[in-house]
Structure 1
Amino acid sequence: MVYYGALSKGCQRCRQRKIKCDQRRPGCLKCEKAKTPCPGFRNLNDVMFRDESLRIIKRVRKTYDDNAPLEQRAPLIVHNAVPTVQLQSNGSDGATTADSPRVPRVLPLPIIEMAANFFFAKYTCDEPPLSSDFFSWLAKMYNQNQPNYAFRAVIEATGMAGISNVNYAPEIASKAKERYVEALAATKQALNNPHESVSDATLVTVINLGIFEFITFEDWDLYHSWSAHLDGATALLQLRGQEQFNHERGEQLFAQFRSQLLYACLQQDLAPPQALRELHQDFRGSIRGKPRMTVKPGQMIDISYRLLDLRAAIKNGDMTDHDAILDVAIQMDNDLKSWRASLPPVWAYATVDAHDIPAGSYFGGKQHVYSSPYIAQVWNNWRTQRILVNRIIFDHQPPYDTASRSQEYFLLSLIQELSVEICISAPNFLGKPRSTTLIWPLLVVAQEPLNLYNERSWATEVLRHIGSVMGVRRASLLADDISRTIIRPKYHTVHNFRNL
């Protein structure tokens, strides 16, 4: 999906009259004063973005055509990545909501076919840190009916789950769960085979079982389901040994899994498990890992481990001395600043005025220009870690005096500045598979009470958008939880999601 310009969030009557609408629900104040029934509001998600998934789908189809043996199951015939559905309107202008009564959907393609299309369009890509070869391998595996039945099943389950989340389709969600159960059974069978249990196909299947749990997340009490798949993937990685890091695919599978696990640790303020640290050391000593140690900029992963360790130690009461905590946090912040100083010119980005798009379409009327989407993603990881580190420094400042007040103001300004940078970067990701990498940075911005209402509300609404467009229920759940904690000031200029 690609952004198609800023659109009015006003009711139908105010839009037709071209007057400002206060957007009060269920009816606006202008209509009430005019003693006219308010016609309601349209769903901007239906008109704000265009689907650009066809390019990726064509790539999948090409891989099928090039690699599928004729004797195997017929290749997937791709028409469109996102199903056309009919939803009940709750207003005269056709607006829909998640609370609309359930009605039958019109599904023009077989649901299994749509599910695979949706998965490849929304949840994987051929850009760094992955590769076009990795993408082609996934597509080829999906096209093979045997021996990769478990992988096929989890791809289809995940795709159906995403479609059901986007379209509020419980009947598709039910089919997704049925397919997920089949994928679990097939995976257990593969794990009982000594050869298949350590294969790339089995590992990527377990990783995608975790993705299914991630996008279908309904309740924090069910968090253990997702973490169980992460534990299973950790055990598989250990079983595969250091040899897995001698080829590119093994490295990419490890990096994909590591991102999931570190995100889980962040959510729960947990230290990274020892097994992950050992795997990381194995990777460093591997054929592919050793050259990484000399590449500039260096990886931030070591700082990530240290940050998670510090947060866990503070939460558990293992570290209580303010001076000791400050020493560790300040050293981490210095290392993060050194990382930035080591960047080659290609990593530089520009912040420019958004002159060529409708006014207010980007946060603060600004946009970032990066040399690649991957570089934009890494920058946001760096910003997020600096926010978390400097918040720890802020919380453990010595008692008030002139110097500490000055330092506190500096830290407050830095955290807000980094948060604004994350907000400005958001449109570079939206509607693309990489948009899920925004969830962690946006979560940190939205939850940070030192941030202004503008930044927090913006980040919350972008999370909600990711949930509704990408079919990631966890993003929507986070947005709902955070929105209940943000208090809108009585007098404040507010950016809202119409300005994306």
Structure 2
Amino acid sequence: MSCLEGMTPDEFLLKPIVACGLAALANREKDTDGLEIARRYYIDAIAATNTALRHPRRVKEDNTLIAVALLGCFERLNWENSSSMLSWKHHVEGATQLLRLRGRGQLRTTIGRATFRETRSDITLNALYAENEVPDFVMQWSAAMEFDPAQTPSDQLYVLAARIGSIRSSFRTGDQNDQRLFDLATSLERDLLRWSEEALGAHSVYSFRSVHDPSSPYSFNGTRHEYDLPQAHRSWNTWRSLNIILSRTQEAIARRSWPTLAQAPPSSQYYRAIRDRMTADICLAAACVLGDDNIADPPEASIASSYQLVVPLFLGGTCLLEQLAEPSVSPGGSRMIFVDEALHARTPNEASIQLAWIIERLDHIGGLGIRWAFSFSKLLKGQSRVYYDVGRS
């Protein structure tokens, strides 16, 4: 977590930090004893955090919010099953309440701003997957942040993400008609495009370029990304993920409402082309961090950078599942796939080869100590035998 940079953790904050560090190391080394020690630190951290939450002063301290965020991080590092998902959601909801309780004044300090930015990514992800609205204060505070060339594009992106959350929530609840939702989504699509144009501007530190370099270990299909800001791939992958989610939502709205929409919507091929482009760029960004061909001995990558790749890689993988399987289409907008076979191992074609590549990266990230990645890899391999909605996910 970037908010920990420059901090000297006290005994309270050391508990969740040590729990996360030991969990990652134990997972990497397949050390069951080490993992048990990590769990004990995690339990101690929960007890200490619960005590802090009951204290009128400590409940608003930076360390308490960071501790709650780290507890959620531990669940992803030590991911086991659906109970891990529930625990992670519980920690995210707790962090949301703490942010609101601490108030907007926390944004006046460097650590307060950093902690807010770290926490809002999980809050937004949780809302988008549940088809719920992102809490209003997250959008309002993101929009009100002071200009910072290294942070403002990311702040703007989370304002756009909150708008997607509102559209998805209304699509689920029916509190707005589909024509209105389709218009909002079309406007949002334009704003996402405008964000990318500004981020690629001549004076933006978020700009990147694609370089044809077949010999580079950091390339994908002979191409690699060069980012002016080393960590800008995180925001770009957020942008790509939002485009995937929005295109699926747009397609679901059109499927549910056509022919009652005022104008004919774009074809399904149009939305699929968006997802194909986003998936290709997610792979390029992953290769930029993890390397490409020699996965047995990949370039060194930090756990933090790898952690940020898990959701984009998984979303890209589901886009490839769309191409390799035959979704069952529902009038309500859903497109269900029963993922029960190794589609990446079918007769080789471009999609199956790319899916296999994504699965290898997720497995590699899992091997770094982030077991959360294994759960997504298992789903993409067909080992989880679950239904997945590629129309609304």
TM over 0.5: yes
Contact map agreement 1:423 1:459 (CA 8 A) in 2: yes
Match of residue 135 from structure 1: 5
Say if 2:137 is the partner of 1:278. Answer: yes
Q: Tell me the CA shift for residue 250 of structure 1.
A: 0.3
Does 444-453 or 239-248 show the bigger shift? 444-453
**2:156 partner SS:** coil
- Does the C-alpha gap of structure 1 residues 477 and 295 become closer, same or farther in structure 2, counting only changes over 3 Å? closer
Relative to the length of structure 2, the TM-score reads 0.77
Say if 2:367 is the partner of 1:465. Answer: no
Match of residue 247 from structure 2: 390
Contact map agreement 2:60 2:98 (CA 8 A) in 1: yes
Match of residue 255 from structure 1: 117
Say if 2:286 is the partner of 1:426. Answer: yes
> In the alignment, residue 435 of structure 1 is paired with which amino acid?
S
Contact map agreement 2:247 2:271 (CA 8 A) in 1: yes
Contact map agreement 1:354 1:367 (CA 8 A) in 2: yes
Output the CA distance in 2 between the equivalents of 1:406 and 1:224: 37
2:311 corresponds to which of 428, 440, 444: 440
Output the CA distance in 1 between the equivalents of 2:28 and 2:270: 42
Q: RMSD of aligned C-alpha atoms?
A: 2.9
Q: Tell me the CA shift for residue 484 of structure 1.
A: 0.3
Q: Which has the higher helix share?
A: 2
Contact map agreement 1:445 1:455 (CA 8 A) in 2: no
**1:352 partner SS:** strand
Match of residue 88 from structure 2: 226
Output the CA distance in 1 between the equivalents of 2:153 and 2:251: 30
Say if 2:65 is the partner of 1:203. Answer: yes
Contact map agreement 1:467 1:475 (CA 8 A) in 2: yes
Q: For 1:2-401, what aligned pairs fall within 5 Å after superposition?
A: 124=1, 134-137=4-7, 140-141=8-9, 148-272=10-134, 274=135, 277-282=136-141, 284=143, 289-291=145-147, 299-318=156-175, 321=178, 323-343=179-199, 344-345=201-202, 346=204, 347-357=206-216, 362-395=219-252, 396=254, 398=258
Match of residue 115 from structure 1: none
Which ranges in structure 1 are unaligned for 5 or more consecutive residues?
A: 1-123, 142-147, 488-500
Output the CA distance in 2 between the equivalents of 1:220 and 1:409: 34
Q: Alpha-carbon deviations, 1:386-436, whole Å to 9, x = none?
A: 12222333342646xxx9798433332232122111111112233222221
Contact map agreement 1:271 1:308 (CA 8 A) in 2: yes
Q: Alpha-carbon deviations, 1:326-381, whole Å to 9, x = none?
A: 222211111111112223224332212224436xx732121111112222221211
> In the alignment, residue 419 of structure 1 is paired with which amino acid?
T
Relative to the length of structure 1, the TM-score reads 0.61
- Does the C-alpha gap of structure 1 residues 240 and 366 become closer, same or farther in structure 2, counting only changes over 3 Å? same
Output the CA distance in 2 between the equivalents of 1:391 and 1:438: 20
**2:28 partner SS:** helix
Contact map agreement 1:373 1:429 (CA 8 A) in 2: no
Q: Alpha-carbon deviations, 1:267-318, whole Å to 9, x = none?
A: 333322x3xx225435655xxx244699668711121011122223334455
Q: Alpha-carbon deviations, 1:105-160, whole Å to 9, x = none?
A: xxxxxxxxxxxxxxxxxxx45xxxx5xxx5121xx21xxxxxx3221111111111
- Does the C-alpha gap of structure 1 residues 222 and 316 become closer, same or farther in structure 2, counting only changes over 3 Å? farther
Which ranges in structure 2 are unaligned for 5 or more consecutive residues?
A: 291-300, 324-350, 386-393
**1:369 partner SS:** strand
**2:211 partner SS:** strand
2:355 corresponds to which of 428, 432, 456: 456
Output the CA distance in 1 between the equivalents of 2:165 and 2:155: 19
> In the alignment, residue 360 of structure 2 is paired with which amino acid?
E
% of aligned pairs identical? 25
Match of residue 333 from structure 2: none
User: Alignment length, in residue pairs?
Assistant: 336
Say if 2:270 is the partner of 1:410. Answer: yes
Output the CA distance in 2 between the equivalents of 1:279 and 1:308: 12
Does 224-233 or 329-338 show the bigger shift? 224-233
Q: Which has the larger radius of gyration?
A: 1
> In the alignment, residue 378 of structure 2 is paired with which amino acid?
D
Contact map agreement 1:149 1:186 (CA 8 A) in 2: no
**2:210 partner SS:** strand
- Does the C-alpha gap of structure 1 residues 157 and 295 become closer, same or farther in structure 2, counting only changes over 3 Å? closer
